[in-house]
A and B are shown apart, each in its own frame.
Chain A
Amino acid sequence: MPVFHARVQVSLRPSVLDPAGEATRAAAGRLGVHGVQRLRIGKAIELDLEAPDRATAEAQLHLLSDRLLANPVIENWTLEISEAG
């Protein structure tokens, strides 16, 4: 069965305050980099999924992203899929 490689990028929705991102932005200034206009912290999840075909893999990855990896109340997610190997 083919294996699909996926990368799910989870980011806070623009309306949600990101205090950790703000603290990091302040630290960038202390490092001497003063031009950082915006800094938001998200997370990336990489996984390999075995599935009979790409459509099935996509459906399962959508379910995973929407119900487990991200919480749509506060987060957005994007998905990249490629066939491994």
Chain B
Amino acid sequence: MTIGIVVFPGSNCDRDVRWAVEGCLGRPTRFLWHEERDLGGLDAVVLPGGFSYGDYLRCGAIASFAPVLEEVRDFAGRGGPVLGICNGFQVLTEMGLLPGALTRNRDLHFLCEPAGLQVQPGRCGWLAAYGPGERITLPIAHGEGRYQIEAEELKRLEGEGQVVLRYLRNPNGSVGDVAGLCNERGNVLGLMPHPERACDPATGGTDGRRLLEAALAAFA
């Protein structure tokens, strides 16, 4: 099983994802430059954290038109597993693969801290390892992570079981305490916390390792 990691100008967690997947989980990865179109041989695609194209206009707005993402859109449409972390989550919402938008944190601070989360895996393949209501801790590191969507739409997403990760203590003002969302089919997950930064006890917890390990096993 090979994992593709998209690299935009400004991505800075691409190597963290590679380290987590190759170094901790022993699975091969391939970097996908934003202008590439060949997803051949890949079993899952990760849009990593960091920035993309300077995040001009809005976070992820310009990236959502990158050539590689046209292929990622088709890949997701065929049921291929796609994970967007932090800036990757912002890109997924700008692309319309996930509903809503991510805006500036309520208190304007860049938040870099561990966040307690509650998992409601529903039909999300990426979270297959978790039981409903399980609690985990993952690091967050973002300035624009406040999830925003109209109240009715949020209710609908909750009803469909698409709100799969919630903050136990809302750090950024996200509506509904949303920290992560999946699409209807369950193959596309976007989340603000960084599982790839919690894969080794030396760097603060292994809850992220468990997430990635179980997900990759589920999709293999």
Contact = CB atoms under 8 A, between A and B. Distances in A.
Interface of A: 15-17, 19-20, 23, 68-69, 71, 73-74
How would you classify the secondary structure of chain A's contact residues: helix, strand, loop or mixed?
A: loop
Given A15-B150, A16-B148, A19-B108, A74 B61 contact: no
Q: Is the interface of B mostly helix, strand, loop or mixed?
A: loop
B103 A68 contact: no
A23 B149 CA distance: 23
Nearest to B58: A71
A73 B149 contact: yes
Contact of B108 (A20, A69, A71): A20
B166 interface: no
A20 B61 contact: no
Interface string B48-62: 000000000110010
Contacts of A68: 57, 61, 65
Closest 9 CB pairs between A and B?
A: A73-B101, A74-B101, A19-B108, A74-B148, A71-B101, A19-B106, A71-B58, A16-B148, A19-B104
Nearest to B153: A73
Given A73-B93, A73-B101, 10 more contacts: A15-B150, A17-B173, A19-B106, A23-B108, A68-B61, A68-B65, A69-B57, A71-B58, A71-B61, A73-B100
